[in-house]
Amino acid sequence: MGFTMAFNLARQGIPFTILEAGNKIFDDPRAGTIHPPTLEMFANVGVTPKLLEQGFIVHNYHYRDRREGLIANFDLSVLKDETEFPFRLMLEQHKICYILRDLLKDTPKSEVLMEHRITKVEQDAEGVRAHVETPDGPKIFEGRWMVGCDGGRSQVRKSMDVKFDGFTYPERFLVLSTRYDFAEHGYAITNYIADPEEWCALFKVPGHDNKGTWRVVFPTRDDETEEQLFNEDAVQARIQGFNKKSGTYEMFHRNLYQVHQRVASNYRDGRLMVAGDAAHINNPLGGMGMNFGLHDAFNLSDKLGQIWHEGASHDLLDLYDRQRRTVAQEYLQRQTIENKKNIEQRDPAERAQFYADLRAIVASPDKLHSYLMRVAMIEGIRRANSIQ
55: region left, alpha or beta (phi > 0 left; psi from -120 to 50 alpha): beta
Neighbours of 150 (CB within 10 A): 23
pLDDT score of 211: 87
The residue type found at 121 is V
Q: What is the mean pLDDT of each run of 10 residues along the chain (388 residues)?
A: 94 95 83 96 97 97 96 97 98 95 89 94 95 96 96 95 94 95 96 96 93 94 92 95 93 92 97 97 91 97 97 97 96 91 95 97 97 96 95
Residues in the chain: 388
Among candidate residues 233, 197, 195, 267, the one with its CA nearest the CA of residue 1 = 267
Q: Would you say the C-alpha torsion 171, 175, 181, 183 has a positive or negative sign?
A: positive
pLDDT score of 30: 79
pLDDT score of 109: 85
d(CA 42, CA 361): 30
Among candidate residues 43, 50, 54, the one with its CA nearest the CA of residue 84 = 43
Return the DSSP state at 201. Answer: E
- Domain ranges for the chain, please list them: 2-168+260-386
Cβ atoms 247, 234 nearer than 8 A: no
Describe the strand order of the beta sheet including 69-75 as a list of residue ranges. Answer: 69-75, 60-65, 190-194, 200-205, 213-219, 173-178, 251-257
d(CA 89, CA 57): 5
Exposure string over 267-300, b if 16+ CB within 10 A, otherwise e: bbbebbbbbbbbbbbbbbbbbbbbbbbbbbbbbb
The residue type found at 306 is Q
pLDDT score of 97: 94
The string of DSSP codes covering 294-321 is: HHHHHHHHHHHHHHHHH---THHHHHHH
Cβ atoms 293, 167 nearer than 8 A: no
**Which H/E stretch holds residue 381?**
helix 378-386
Q: What is the largest CA-CA distance in the chain?
A: 66
**Which H/E stretch holds residue 83?**
none
d(CA 68, CA 243): 13
3-state class (DSSP) for residue 348: helix
Among candidate residues 73, 71, 67, 72, the one with its CA nearest the CA of residue 243 = 67
d(CA 217, CA 156): 30
d(CA 242, CA 131): 48
3-state class (DSSP) for residue 33: strand
Among candidate residues 148, 114, 112, the one with its CA nearest the CA of residue 130 = 148
Name the fold adopted by 2-168+260-386.
Answer: FAD/NAD(P)-binding domain (3.50.50)
Q: Would you say the C-alpha torsion 27, 29, 30, 36 has a positive or negative sign?
A: positive
Cβ atoms 34, 55 nearer than 8 A: yes
Which contacts of 113-119 are long-range, i.e. CB under 8 A and separated by 24 or more positions? 113/17, 113/18, 113/19, 113/20, 114/20, 114/22, 114/23, 114/24, 115/20, 115/21, 115/22, 115/23, 116/19, 116/20, 116/21, 117/19, 117/21, 118/19, 118/21, 118/150, 118/155, 118/156, 119/155
